[in-house]
Structure 1
Amino acid sequence: MAVEVSVIATSSLGDRSYLATDGRIAVVVDPQRDIDRVLDLAGRLGVRVTHVVETHIHNDYVSGGLELARITGAEYLVAAADTVAFTRRPVADGDEVEISDVLRLRVLATPGHTFHHLSYVLDERAGDGGWTPVGVFTGGSLLFGTTGRTDLLGKQYADELAHHQHASAQRLADLLPDGTQVWPTHGFGSFCSASQADAPESTIGRERTANPALQLAADEFVTETLAGLDAYPAYYAHMGVANSAGPAPVDLTPVARADAAELRERVAAGQWVVDLRHRKAYASSHLAGTVSLGLDGPMSTWLGWLIDWGVPITLLAETPEQVADAQRELVRIGIDRPAAAATGQPRDWAGDAGQLRELAVADFPALAAAQTGNVPAGLPEPAAVLDVRLTNEWRDSHLEGAVHIPLPELPDRLAEVPEGAVWVHCGSGYRASVAASLLANAGRQVVLVDDSFAHAGPAGVALVSGA
């Protein structure tokens, strides 16, 4: 049987894990912490996992590699140069690892995303007894049309690592033929990616024509890469530490149930009570003091970014299944056990109707009308327009006269939001809903602009570009 490589996507974090098999045994690359997905896949394929490999100590999620290796008895391959608190098979540049009589991994040092980053070339036994490269697991090195960002170990290393990143991409292109598949871990919306130039799949040959790391000279690549770096989630500071120490097994059993009285106490205590429903449902009716973070978007990324690490988190959802989905999302970034949860509808979570709130909603045509004095019925005149997108988005284009406070900074900068009714927008409505709930909880009059930023200009809202 020819080699088969399966993708295990974690779209909420913009990452991919892989399972490669010859039909009997398998190697797993960069597994997420909820390893039941990997075990289920191996079971469906009828294969035994004998090797688990990490391309690097991850900064954006807690790895499931250690636990997967423990459960399956597989060898756990981690860079020899990385200091870790657990037993693993240390590997380094030039090592060859025989997976089976028809599959082999070759270890290549590809520093850049981290100092000790490794890529793994997957070779298949050819008919003449030699080895043929099928693909390369590139982790956070060579991505689809971009590379992994180089500032996660600290801004002081970003320039040095960017030079390493360029050299590593060149090395991969020099060593491997054009038809070699490229299998990155990051780059599918992940903040570990230097940009978001993604594709469904790629090869070394395609990257030669599409990837700046293979198109630009080193200094030009470094300048462009560093200029494009924006903020990344605050919880990243905890991921590398957890992965080096050796993550504990996950516990996805149901959390304690909270009744209306307990929910009221948690809100009054200033704890994070998170409404997982879609923002439209939240706007229609929600429990006062809660924060809108719908499961339809990157809930764990923004929650992990906004909270003070370790604070109690309570989850509100329509069904137990949605709470379970949220738990799975949260353990991937090291938030292991929510304090409590409740299911149903807002009326079930409120002790009385006075605890329920609505959120005013508009779109960009409504904002354009309001800015010319034709305020739509039922909406307040905008005293300020707040843009909560990230800095690079703002620099690319923004609304004339808008106030810019990136969402991750908003909890600490609420006092900077001008007085009066605030209309808040982002790129799609998701982050604006989070911001609107935070503003409303602070006693502000707020309107959620639930619309795509691409609609702003055509709607007649004045834009400023390239600032």
Structure 2
Amino acid sequence: MDVETIGTASLGDRSYLVHDGEVALVVDPQRDLDRVEEVAARLGVRITHVAETHVHNDYVTGGLALSRRHDAQYLVAAAEDVAYERLAVHPGDTLSVGALSVTAVATPGHTPHHLAYVVGRDARQAVFSGGSLLYGSVGRTDLMSPSLTVDLTHAQYRSARALASLALETATLHPTHGFGSFCSSGPASGADASTIGEQLRTNHALTDPDEQHFVTSLIANLSAYPSYYSHMAPLNRVGPSAADLTVPAPLRPAEVVDRVAAGHWVVDLRSRVAFAAGHLRGTVGFEYGTSFATYLGWILPWGEPVTLLGSEEDVRAAIRDLSRIGIDHPSASFGDPTSWQTAPDIVSYRRAGWSALVDATSPVVLDVRRPEEFASGHIVGALNIPLHELPHRLGEIPAGTVWVHCASGYRAGVAASLLHRAGREVVHLDADWSQVHGVPTT
């Protein structure tokens, strides 16, 4: 038995392919199926089963499309209300995938009907825990409904313990969440691999003897999650298609200008340094990288048409990332707008470090970190508006030049572009919060 990991760093999730050398089970696949199929082809194995641990809230699944493409059995909890045919799995069900034994375990908490899968061959076990038992913590319990959060948190505590008691201590653990996903909660360890035995010694769901203390602590530390999450489960219950990763024919420069003039979202994927130095008036800057899809999906009004502007390589990668959260078929234009557009349509704003803020007179300082980050330490007098709330709270920012910062510079770069598009004078404090100096903090 071997397990192949297919990581999606942009969403903080993992999918898995577990096989016996001939046939394979795929667990929680993302929508861009080519990555899974490339692994199967490299290993020379057939995909005969595809399993979902739960109806996902943070991405559009590729499970149904993958199962249909490979004529594979599609394992989904029997209790889930879905619009497609699947192999309805009940807790305790065991089935064979070649030489592998696969047992479904009820693990409610992250969702009410969550399942984990214990896969074994001979004396070896691998546990695919989805959003139940993570490395150092568990999946968050507040994605379904506020009225269910307390009950689901109690269930999560019990589920983690039940799962750990059913598996061997030597079993390897393979969660879907916990690698940066907003679906995780609590003190996730950041580890790359673990076992049930290690979690028994280190995971707070397994080491805290007081269930009520665990529940109270976990709920108290739940933070905001991306707004697009509310659209993921409904899409997954209907049964999404595979991702269409086609790169569209590029728009002409004049067409891009027209879209900006019409109020469309034109998203510049270049670095925040390049964007600040010169960009097409009315565009917003979302530097392409690991955080791109999460923050654009969080801020972009759902269903709003989007045009991507950047290198063909970045546009191609962005299309893949966005497809995973249900944003399909964006328009695109390639290149640097400063090379094909002239003033006054090319504008810029200032970037600076902490030392420049020291010399500023009565600056308006905007901190776009999340509230829990702000509470842990901030510049005296700074206004805290988290990035994801900024488009709806621009009117709260006092008059004057806005000096905007975050923890690393990325979110502040997005915020600066939104402010500048709204007509504000802005300075992007592109600096590391851990290196703040010279200005009063609390």
**Which bin holds the TM-score, normalised by the shorter protein?**
over 0.9
Aligned to 1:39, what secondary structure does the other structure show?
helix
CA deviation after TM superposition for structure 1 residue 364, in Å: 2.0
1:375-431, Cα deviation, whole Å (9 max, x unpaired): 4xxxxx452110111121112222211100011110010000111011101111111
The answer on whether the counterparts of 1:382 and 1:421 sit within 8 Å (CA) in structure 2 is: no
Taking structure 1 as reference, are residues 26 and 382 closer, same or farther at Cα in structure 2, changes over 3 Å only? farther
CA deviation after TM superposition for structure 1 residue 246, in Å: 0.3
CA deviation after TM superposition for structure 1 residue 435, in Å: 0.4
Instruction: Confirm or deny that 1:259 pairs with 2:256.
Output: no
CA deviation after TM superposition for structure 1 residue 349, in Å: 4.8
Aligned to 2:378, what secondary structure does the other structure show?
strand
Q: Match for residue 97 of structure 2?
A: 99
Q: Matches of residues 171-320 of structure 1 in structure 2 within 5 Å?
A: 171-195=162-186, 196-216=188-208, 217-318=210-311, 320=312
CA RMSD of aligned residues (A): 1.2
1:276-297, Cα deviation, whole Å (9 max, x unpaired): 1111111122111111111123
1:59 counterpart (57, 60, 71):
57
Instruction: Confirm or deny that 1:322 pairs with 2:314.
Output: yes
The answer on whether the counterparts of 2:125 and 2:168 sit within 8 Å (CA) in structure 1 is: no
1:12 counterpart (10, 13, 32):
10
The answer on whether the counterparts of 2:9 and 2:290 sit within 8 Å (CA) in structure 1 is: no
CA deviation after TM superposition for structure 1 residue 133, in Å: 4.4
The answer on whether the counterparts of 2:18 and 2:24 sit within 8 Å (CA) in structure 1 is: yes
Report the number of matched residues: 440
CA deviation after TM superposition for structure 1 residue 143, in Å: 0.3
CA distance, structure 2, for counterparts of residue 247 and residue 68 of structure 1? 10
Q: Which structure 1 residue ranges, 5 or more long, are not aligned?
A: 127-131, 376-380
Instruction: Confirm or deny that 1:114 pairs with 2:111.
Output: yes
Which range moves more in the overlay, 250-259 or 447-456?
250-259
Matching residue's letter, 2:61: S
The answer on whether the counterparts of 1:382 and 1:420 sit within 8 Å (CA) in structure 2 is: no
Aligned to 1:280, what secondary structure does the other structure show?
helix
TM-score (norm 1): 0.92
Taking structure 1 as reference, are residues 241 and 385 closer, same or farther at Cα in structure 2, changes over 3 Å only? same
Q: Which aligned runs of 4 or more in structure 1 are off by greater than 4 angstroms?
A: none
The answer on whether the counterparts of 1:97 and 1:106 sit within 8 Å (CA) in structure 2 is: yes
Taking structure 1 as reference, are residues 177 and 382 closer, same or farther at Cα in structure 2, changes over 3 Å only? farther
Matching residue's letter, 1:14: G
2:411 counterpart (420, 423, 431):
431
CA distance, structure 2, for counterparts of residue 253 and residue 414 of structure 1? 36
Which range moves more in the overlay, 426-435 or 170-179?
170-179
1:142-173, Cα deviation, whole Å (9 max, x unpaired): 00101100000022211110000000011012
The answer on whether the counterparts of 2:252 and 2:333 sit within 8 Å (CA) in structure 1 is: yes
Q: Match for residue 420 of structure 2?
A: 440
CA distance, structure 1, for counterparts of residue 409 and residue 60 of structure 2? 28
Which range moves more in the overlay, 396-405 or 111-120?
396-405
CA distance, structure 1, for counterparts of residue 279 and residue 41 of structure 2? 42
Q: Match for residue 129 of structure 1?
A: none
CA distance, structure 1, for counterparts of residue 362 and residue 143 of structure 2? 38
Matching residue's letter, 2:214: F
Taking structure 1 as reference, are residues 143 and 291 closer, same or farther at Cα in structure 2, changes over 3 Å only? same
Matching residue's letter, 1:353: A
CA deviation after TM superposition for structure 1 residue 255, in Å: 1.6
1:171-214, Cα deviation, whole Å (9 max, x unpaired): 01212222111100001000000134321111111111221111
The answer on whether the counterparts of 2:105 and 2:117 sit within 8 Å (CA) in structure 1 is: yes
Matching residue's letter, 1:332: R
Matching residue's letter, 1:460: G
Q: Which structure 2 residue ranges, 5 or more long, are not aligned?
A: none
Q: Match for residue 440 of structure 2?
A: 462
Instruction: Confirm or deny that 1:154 pairs with 2:145.
Output: yes
TM-score (norm 2): 0.97
Aligned to 1:361, what secondary structure does the other structure show?
strand
Q: Matches of residues 373-388 of structure 1 in structure 2 within 5 Å?
A: 375=360, 381=361, 383-388=363-368
CA distance, structure 2, for counterparts of residue 348 and residue 69 of structure 1? 46
CA distance, structure 1, for counterparts of residue 380 and residue 285 of structure 2? 27
Percent identity of equivalent pairs: 51
Taking structure 1 as reference, are residues 35 and 317 closer, same or farther at Cα in structure 2, changes over 3 Å only? same
Q: Match for residue 453 of structure 1?
A: 433
The answer on whether the counterparts of 1:315 and 1:323 sit within 8 Å (CA) in structure 2 is: yes
Instruction: Confirm or deny that 1:363 pairs with 2:353.
Output: yes
Matching residue's letter, 1:281: A
Q: Match for residue 413 of structure 1?
A: 393
